[in-house]
Amino acid sequence: MTESEGQVAAVRGFNRFYTRKLGVLDQHLLQSPFSLSEARVLYELAHREDAAARDIGIELGLDAGYLSRIVQKFDDDGLIVRTPLPTDRRQVRLNLTTKGRQAFAKLDRASHDEVATMLNGLDGDRRAAVVQAMGTIERSLQPQAARPAGFLLRSHRIGDIGWVISRQGRAYAEEYGWDISYEALVAEICAQFVKSFDPAREHCWIAEVDGEPVGSIFLVNGGAGVAKLRLLLVEEKARGLGVGRALVEQCVRTARENGYKRMTLWTQSILVAARGIYARQGFRRVKEERHHSFGVDLVGETWEMDL
């Protein structure tokens, strides 16, 4: 066997091992009602708004007929709404319903818990090595054209706080149906941040692409050596660039440099993309509680990490 043939065999062997390890060959993924392909489509819909069915098929490499059957099943189960394009009624835009987002949140949590269980069986060094190796594989095999575009993080300046309030209110209203009481809460948080701002212990970062704000995050002093991560936001058009991850990493790194011992945040179970970033950064969910806020029923979650 030549060296190249041995390398091919090694990759194929790893693929067989990993699919068995994660159980992706089971008829239903993670004891859910979804197959692997259905779960992948559900994931794409959870991270996009007004997604074109054709684009999802191309992204996932799914046959058009097979994708059509998945979409029809989701429609029949009340997980999605379909909107024909005005310019071509043969093409449709897809969005998850509240039921669809709840279904994805449940699947996402099951996936998170299964992987966490797998990693918890390893000591710290082995766990870090596994995660680093996976990152190397992903970066090496990712097409050059698909790699993240450039963006920068900067400190806030005059006008940014108003932008944060406006974009937070609008984004959560459009994506999750939250009412204006959420915008009022954001305004209160931002006003307090400005009034009591301690530049030695607190910070706000704005992410920019080509000079345009596309994201934000706040580091706030919670007292007793505890830092609070607040108001993470990434505009839809900037998602997939790594903006959210960079904002969270910057916030955590600065908290460590400023001498905080612990960091905490409050989020909601439906915010699956943000929760994924927090988990990968090292936060752990320590509390959850059902509540009715911003005009909707939610499951609030408290996450923490030692610094």
Considering the entire predicted model, what is its pTM?
0.54
Neighbours of 4 (CB within 10 A): 8
Cross-strand pairs, 88: 85
CA 75 to chain centre: 24
Is 152-306 a CATH 3.40.50.720 domain? no
Give yes or no for a contact between 104 and 43, defined as CB atoms under 8 angstroms apart: yes
Residue 109 pLDDT exceeds 70: yes
Tell me how far the alpha carbon of residue 258 is from its chain's centroid.
Answer: 27
CATH class of 3-146: mainly alpha
Distance of alpha carbon 224 from alpha carbon 98, whole angstroms: 39
Q: Is 247 exposed, middle or buried (0-12, 13-18, 19+ CB in 10 A)?
A: buried
- One-letter amino acid at 213 equals P
Give the residue, 81 or 6, on which the prediction is more confident: 81
Q: What is the mean pLDDT of residues 185-205?
A: 95
pLDDT value of position 263: 97
Q: Phi and psi of 48, rounded to 5°? A: -135, 155
Give the count of beta carbons closer than 10 Å to the beta carbon of residue 14: 11
Query: Is 60 exceeded by the pLDDT of residue 221?
Result: yes
Average pLDDT of every residue of the chain: 86
User: How much of the chain exceeds pLDDT 90, in percent?
Assistant: 48
Q: Is a pLDDT exceeding 60 seen at residue 182? A: yes
Average confidence (pLDDT) over 93-100: 88
Query: Over 70: is that where the pLDDT of 12 sits?
Result: yes
Q: For the segment 277-299, what is each residue's pLDDT rounded down to a tens digit?
A: 999 999 999 999 999 999 999 99
Contact 209, 188 (CB under 8 A): no
pLDDT digits (tens, 9 = 90+) for 155-167: 999 999 999 999 9
Residue spans per domain, the chain: 3-146, 152-306
Please compute the mean of the pLDDT values over residues 243-255 and round it to a whole number: 94
Highest mean pLDDT among 60-64, 113-117, 179-183, 241-245: 179-183
Q: Residue 231: helix, strand or coil by DSSP? A: strand
Which amino acid type is present at position 92? V
Residue 289 contacts by C-beta under 8 Å, 6 or more apart in sequence?
299, 300
First to last CA, the chain: 49
Task: Please tell me the distance from the alpha carbon of residue 139 to that of residue 287, in angstroms, as a whole number.
Answer: 34
Q: Could you give the 3-state DSSP secondary structure of residue 276?
A: helix
Q: Higher pLDDT residue, 29 or 199? A: 199
User: What is the structure's pLDDT at 29?
Assistant: 54
Convert the pLDDT of each residue in 41-93 to its tens digit: 888 888 877 778 888 888 788 888 888 899 899 999 999 888 876 666 667 78
Q: How confident is the model over 186-213, as a mean pLDDT?
A: 93
